[in-house]
Each structure stands twice: as C-alpha cells, then as structure tokens.
Structure 1
Amino acid sequence: MIEQKAKFVVIEGLEGAGKSSAIELVKTLITSHTGKAPVCTREPGGTPLAEKMRDLVKVADETDPLCDEAECLLFYAARAQLIANVIKPALADNTWVLGDRHNLSSLAYQGGGRGLMPLVKSISDITLKGFKPDLTLYLDIEPKLGLERAANRGALDRIEVQKIEFFERARATFLDFAAKDDSIIVIDASKTLEEVHQQITTELTARLS
C-alpha cells in the first residue's frame, strides 16, 4: 500500500469503446494500489440534480427537441454540480476519484461533433477554472466499429443515434487533444478485451508507480 495524494482519473471514449469494463479494471487497480476504493462518478450525472440533467440530454423529446447550445449548457451545469459536491470533497479527503467521462467528452462531442468549440471552451474556462483530471485514459476506436458494438448492447440513447460523421469529428477531437496533453493516454480499444485490459494495466501501473 502506497500513501500519496489522491488523484482524479477519468476514462473516456466513443460509444462501444468498452468504458464500463475498463472502469471496473481501473477501480480494482486503484483499490489495490491505495488500499481504498475510489469514489466512482459518471457524467453527466453523479449527484441527484445532475442525474436529472442526464435524463434531459439522454432522452429525446420530439415535442421539444433539445438544441445543441442547451445540450452543451446542461452538460456543464451537471459537471459543475459534480465537481463541487462530489469530486473536490473526495479529493480533499484524500480519496481517489474515478470518472466515467469528464470535460474531454464535451470538447469532443459538443465542441468537435456539434461544431461548438468556441462556446465549449468559454464555458469550460468559466466553470472549471483550470480544474482537470490528473490522468485520462482515452479508449480509441473507429466510430463504425464502436457503434456496431454499442448497438449490440440494446437500444441507443439520443446521442448514440447521431450520424457517423458526428462521431468521426468527435474522435478526431479526442485524438487532437490527446496529442497535446501528456496526461491523456490513448488506448487502442479495437483490440480484444484481454489486450485492451493489458494495455490499461501496463499504462496505469507505470503512472501509479
């Protein structure tokens, strides 16, 4: 067991990249490393109010379609709640936090996918004030393969049914930010589950050490 300052670790990726299984693996690795299970969050969501916002952005309402700008604002409202009421308190208590998505998703989906990058960057600067994960594992997969995997899970939500061009733009944005930030590790999620988990274990173990 190693005593060190708690960190905020995030798992990112397109639909079908295997985030759920990766999160379980990383949770186990962090627990083994620190002797204490991390606080696990998801975005949007993670607090009672943020979960209500999640419903608004995930479920389509044909009578009142959610416009792109409103979608972006809801994501950041939910994120602000989560940071203030869950993430920062946990880190202050020296408890690690493991996030299922964070700001990089908004940069990729709303910024790249929706074409709202100036708005996303402005809101990000205002709401986050420089707060960011210590480490991000981005599970990279071609949109076509990822969406095929996602479809096999069952019904798709409002965002998952976007055209493939949307996800191609989002992926390009994910990779662009990863190339410029050493705290973002790219994992090839197109490989088998065992190979992906081995990549994650190797990368995370090296960083934890």
Structure 2
Amino acid sequence: MKKCVVLSGAGISADSGLLTFRDAGGLWEGYRVTDVCTPEALAKNPQLVIDFYNQRRRQANEAEPNAAHYALVELAGYYRVQIITQNVDNLHERAGSKNVLHLHGELNKLRSVDNPDEIIDFTGEQTAETVSSGGGAMRPHIVFFGEQVPMFDTAAEEMRDADVVVIVGTSLQVYPAASLVHYAPPHADVYLVDPNPQSVAADIEVIRKRAAEGVPDLVEYLIGKA
C-alpha cells in the first residue's frame, strides 16, 4: 500500500468556521500575536494568554469536521495516510483519522511549565491556578511564536518515504513547516489544494479549490489510482 502524507493548515479548519491570525491580518478578535502567542506574553500576563486559549478551545470544540476531513479518512482505506497538521484543533481526529501529528501543539492539552514532558488532556476552562502533578503551573500545549517546533524532525522522517504528498489549507509561507515538502523523495506526486495559490513549484499539481471542495475531488482521483 502506498504512503500518502498530508500537510494540513488553517485553510482546512477555516471551512469548519475557525479563523486564524493570518485571516484577520495579524489580529484575532482584537488580540495581537505578541499579546497572546509568545513566551513573553505568557510570562507577562499568563491569565490573558490562558483566557485567549480557553476561548479558542471552546470555539474549536464547537466546530465540526468538514468534507475535507472526512475525505482523508476515506483515503486511509486505500493508502497509508499520515497527517502532519499545523492546526491545534482536533477536527482530523474527530472525523476519524488515526495518524495525526500536530506540529504546533493541541488546544485540548496542557503542559507543565516546569516539566515539558508532562502533558495532560484538558477540555475545560483553565485558570492560572491549574497546576501539574508536581504543583507547578500549567500552560497551553501550544508552540508559541519564537519557540522551537519539537515534532519537526519526526514530521520530516514521515515525509521521506512518501509516495504522495497532499498539501491543503497552508500557504507554505510559515517555517519550518513550509520546508517539509522538500523532504519528500523525488518520485513522490505532490498536490496542492488552494483556491489562491502563491508561487508554486512546477512539479506541484494545483487544485484551485477550497479544502472542503478540492480535497474530496482529489481523494476520489487518488483512490482511482490506488
């Protein structure tokens, strides 16, 4: 069975009604990136950061997977599908995808400030008093701007033996995630689902549609080739 690696970004979640900083020109409901999504912001005003991610968690958990998410589940019946997502929601998992690697963390988890290896599932409302098993403070399990992406090397290894690469909902402008496509082997077929693609390499086939429309069409095509 051939392997298909899917690189997903904000555009696939946008079709479920979830917006991003990029969609809002650097503002998200009045918040600047530097106010709520940096290590400095967490140190300066932890409750503001916590409140922001409580709101994001509520919105994400109220959203529903869309046709693109479900199409990728169908694809897994014909290919070994590995999803590498920049998104912090769990819409891929809720649709039924099993192999999902989150590059930028997950809204429904918290991480100990003192021990980064202590990560817990969390779907409620965090407060500044939410503590780890060792009594230390907990923070959103999110890779903030300016922080290292700990899962990048794992993602790069997953890409190295891909037969097919599907890029959906990402502009390939955010690094290091944007560089992952360069780890695909030369024989891999690469597809980009994007209604308004930026400059794209000649060897990438472009489907000029939104995720919820373009991914099901591409999946139907790929299944026919399986």
Higher relative contact order (CA 8 A, sep 6+): 1
TM-score (norm 2): 0.38
Query: Would you tell me which structure has more strand in proportion to its own residues?
Result: 2
Larger radius of gyration: 2
